[in-house]
Every structure is written in structure tokens, then in C-alpha cells.
Amino acid sequence: MKITKVQTTVVAVPDPPLRNVNGVHEPYAVRVILQVHTDDGVTGLGEMPGGTRFKAELDAAAAKVIGLNPYHTEWLRELFPDSPRLWSAFEVPCLDAVGKATGRSVSDLLGGGVRDRVPFSAYLFYKFATPDGWLETAAGTPKPWGEVGMYGWAAEVLTPEAMVDETAEFVRRYGFRTLKLKAGPLPPDEEVRTLRLIRERFGPDYPLRIDPNAGWSVETALRLLPQLEEIGLEYYEDPVRGMDAMAEVGRRTELPMATNMCLVGFKQFPEGVAKDAVQVVLADHHGWGGLWAMKQCGQICRIFGMGTSQHSNSHLGISMAAMIHAGATVPGLIYASDTHYPWQQGWDVVNETFTFTDGSLPVPTAPGLGVTLNQERLGRLAEIAAARPSERRDDLGTMRRWFPEWEAKAQRW
């Protein structure tokens, strides 16, 4: 079996105005969809974050991948030293192709699942109301929010009380139990009050998380600790920037410190372990080097007594499927994984869109990843991308379109 051709397509998926410490999401999130064709007649699918520049990088790398046997993914590390993104970009479609050729799921190829459903967390964002013109820059693109509708999508969620309503809707619709608050937009005391209201509303059986994306000072993170401990957190995610600051906060609490910002690759394990900077690693197969890398990460975490969870960016169904297979086959991945998928509101490039039940998704058992490409949907999202070239989400620039005086601040609070 040999790879004969690699097709890459930049797509843009509509995204609501979700707030974070840096600013606000753009109207579209860009992804690159990979189709890796083989001489067996099967095609493996992949999805990566990135736009036209990353597509060009992938297209250049594809020249080296043509002729590779999809069973031999270890070669990717030899072909692209020090580029975990390229390993991931090609490894996932190779696994998908091998699975389709052999009639086995990607989970089976990774050693088999240790769970048949993978739990996910509600990803709770403060957000602006969707403004007029938000999605109209792509000519001829209908407004998706008007088509599909969702409680709260047309409304602002900028107060603790409004966030409780949003949370209730996520719980009602998808059955999520683990509730993660994206912090940073409001003053930290208001965000802690938000968590308190959520705790009061849903009781003790809903694990809570807060993630200010390192937008808080050590002083702020420590000042709020007693309240957060009283409310009860499953983990305290990146309140502060860098391993030293995370370790400093971590020394003062029994709450596990979690990160997808200061320990984001294998090379950082020695420092992270030496400093006891984090107790939970939110790994991401797109950035860590693929699905085998997720398993290796999980094993290293286990050796050092750390937990593993999954980080998420705005994504479509191919990445969703890959995340489920990772979640099924990494034994130590006991925390609910993050996902932005509900925010994409059904926009996808696959035929088998995902519906959460009891806050979890079943592990696909069909060959490969268990998803197939819908060419019409791919074409539509590719048209949107072509009308709106972008490389990566610009939260700061998007915020400044409404608030020109908005300042860039690594540490806002």
C-alpha cells in the first residue's frame, strides 16, 4: 500500500463571537482538510488547524509523503524532524486509510479502546450577541445562526447570571456533566461568582473547571484560591503564565493545576516534572504529533502521577472522530475532554455529524476514523475560506473592530 496523492483544502467554519482574555473569536475558524489517497483505492482523512500558509507547508511536505506506506507512520518522524504538527497532519489520515483498508477502526489500530464512550465537557464562553454583518463578508453565505437557532446565540452572555442560563442549555441539550468556564473577559471576582452560581444551580455532582488562559497574575490567582477551593474545582487550568508561576500557585493548593499552555510537548516534561508545575496535561493530537503521541503522552503522565485530558480548538468532525479515538485508547485520559464542537452548530465536512448524549460520544466502530467526507459540505466551507483568507484566529484584531481602544495584554487581571 502506497500513498499516491495528497489533497489539501482550506475551509472556514462559522464561529460565534466567543470571548476570551485576548478578545473575541473571529466570525470563522480556519482548518485544513487532508485527503490522502492510496494505490489501494482508499482515502484517509485528516483535519488540522491552519489556513493558506499551513496548506502550503502541507503541500510541500506532501511531496515527501508520496510513496510512503501508510502502515509505516513512524517514518513521518524521520521525514519531518521536530515538526509534531506534520506528524499529526499525515499520521491521522494514514491510520484512517489503514483502518479502511483492513476494516478495523482507528481505536483497534491503536491497541483497542478501554472505554466505548468518551466524555466531553461543556465549554462555556461569555459571548457577545451575534452582530449584524458578522457573517456577511463571504458573499452569498446565508446567516447560519438564523437558520439553526439556539438559545442564547442571538443574546449576549456577559454576566454571571446569563452564563448560568447558557450552562443550563448545554446541560439540557447535550447532557454535559463536566462544566468548563472560559475565563478572562470579566473581572476575576465576577468569574468566580459565575462558578459559584453554577455550583449552586447544578450541585456537587458536576465537576467544574476555570481557564483564564494565563490572563491572571499570581497575586490574583492566589487571592481567589480560597473561594475556588470552597466552590470545588476539578482542576485549575492555566490561571497564570509559565511553569514557575503555575508551580507557585500549585504549591499553595491541593487543587490540581492543569495546562495546555506551559507544557505543550514532550520536550517540556522534564522541566514540568522537576518544577511540579502541573498535575494535569491537556494534550492535543494536532500539536503533540498525532494519536500515537497521545498514547505516549498519556503513558508519561501516568509514570509521573499526572492526569491527562484533551485540549480543543474550534474543529470539525474529522478532528472530533480523532479525539474520540484518542479518548478511547489513552487509559489515563480519565478527565472529560474539551470540545468546541457544539459551537459549530452542525456545520461540518463529514456525513456522520456527532450528537452528544449524556455529555459523551460513542467510539466509532466503522473502519478507520468512522467518518466520510461530504464533498458538498467541503466545497461550501472552502468557498467561505476563499472569500475570507485567514491563517489563524485573530482575537485581538477582531475585538478592535468594535473597541478600537482594546489593548493587548498578556496578563489582563
Nearer to Mg ion, 21 or 385 (CB): 21
Q: Nearer Cβ to Mg ion, position 264 or 350?
A: 264
Judge contact between 228 and 210, C-beta under 8 A: yes
Pattern 342-381, Mg ion, x by CB under 5 A:
----------------------------------------
| Burial zone of 169 (CB within 10 Å; 0-12 exposed, 13-18 middle, 19+ buried) | middle
**Active-site entry in 311, 315, 325, 340:** 311
Q: Shortest gap between Cβ of 118 and Mg ion (angstroms)? A: 19
Query: Quick one: which segment of 21-29, 147-155, 254-262, 364-372 binds Mg ion (CB under 5 A)?
Result: 254-262
Q: Are 282 and 258 in contact (CB under 8 A)?
A: yes
- In the structure grid, which three cell numbers stand for residue 39, read together? 494505490
Applying CB under 5 A, which of residues 260, 309, 337, 344 lies at the interface with Mg ion? Answer: 260
CB of 181 to Mg ion, least distance (A): 11
Catalytic residue among 37, 55, 180, 182: 182
**In this chain, which stretch among 205-213, 289-297, 367-375, 386-394 interacts with Mg ion, using CB under 5 A?**
205-213
If the CB atoms of residues 73 and 213 are measured against Mg ion, the closer one turns out to be 213
In angstroms, give the least distance from the CB of 151 to Mg ion: 25
Local structure of residue 342 (DSSP, 8 states): G
Stretch that binds Mg ion, among 29-37, 51-59, 204-212, 239-247 (CB under 5 A): 204-212
Q: Which residues pair with 117 in a beta bridge?
A: 362
State the Cα–Cα distance between residues 286 and 55, nearest whole angstrom: 14
Question: Taking the complex as a whole, how short is the minimal distance between the CB of residue 381 and Mg ion, in angstroms?
Answer: 25
Cα→Cα distances 226→46, 200, 255, Å? 44, 17, 11
- Which is nearer to Mg ion, 26 or 338 (by Cβ)? 338
Burial 289-328 (b: 16+ CB within 10 A, else e): bbbbbbbbbbebbeeeebbbbbbbbbbbbbbbbbbbbbbb
Of 129, 191, 205, nearest to 163 (Cα)? 191
The residue among 174, 192, 172, 175 whose CA lies nearest residue 183 is 192
> How would you label 184-205 residue by residue, b for 16+ Cβ within 10 Å and e otherwise?
bbbebeebbbbbbbbbeebeee
Toward Mg ion, which CB reaches closer, 57 or 284?
Answer: 284
Q: Using the minimum distance from each CB to Mg ion, give the nearer residue, 8 or 260.
A: 260
DSSP letter assigned to residue 21: S
Mark the segment that binds Mg ion (CB under 5 A) among 208-216, 239-247, 323-331, 376-384.
208-216
Kindly state the number of chain residues that form the binding site for Mg ion, as judged by CB under 5 A.
2
Query: Which residues, in sequence order, are bridge partners of residue 280?
Result: 258, 307
- Closest to Mg ion by CB, 102 or 313: 313
Q: Is 311 among the residues known to form the active site?
A: yes
**Residue 309 binds to Mg ion (criterion: CB under 5 A):** no
d(CA 342, CA 54): 25
User: Nearest distance from residue 263's CB to Mg ion, in Å?
Assistant: 12
The CB-of-234 to Mg ion minimum distance in angstroms stands at 13
Q: Which of 91, 166, 211, 395 binds Mg ion (CB under 5 A)?
A: 211
- Stretch of 138-146, 191-199, 258-266, 376-384 contacting Mg ion, by CB under 5 A: 258-266
Smallest distance from Mg ion to CB 211, Å: 4
**What part of residues 5-34 is at the interface with Mg ion (CB under 5 A)?**
none
Distance of CA 66 to the CA centre of its chain: 29
Which string of b and e fits 93-132 if b means at least 16 CB within 10 Å?
Answer: bbbbbbbbbbebbbbbbbeebebebbbbbbbbbbbbebee
Round to whole Å and give the CA distance between 28 and 365: 31
Q: What is the set of active-site residues?
A: 182, 311
For Mg ion, the binding residues (CB under 5 A) are 211, 260
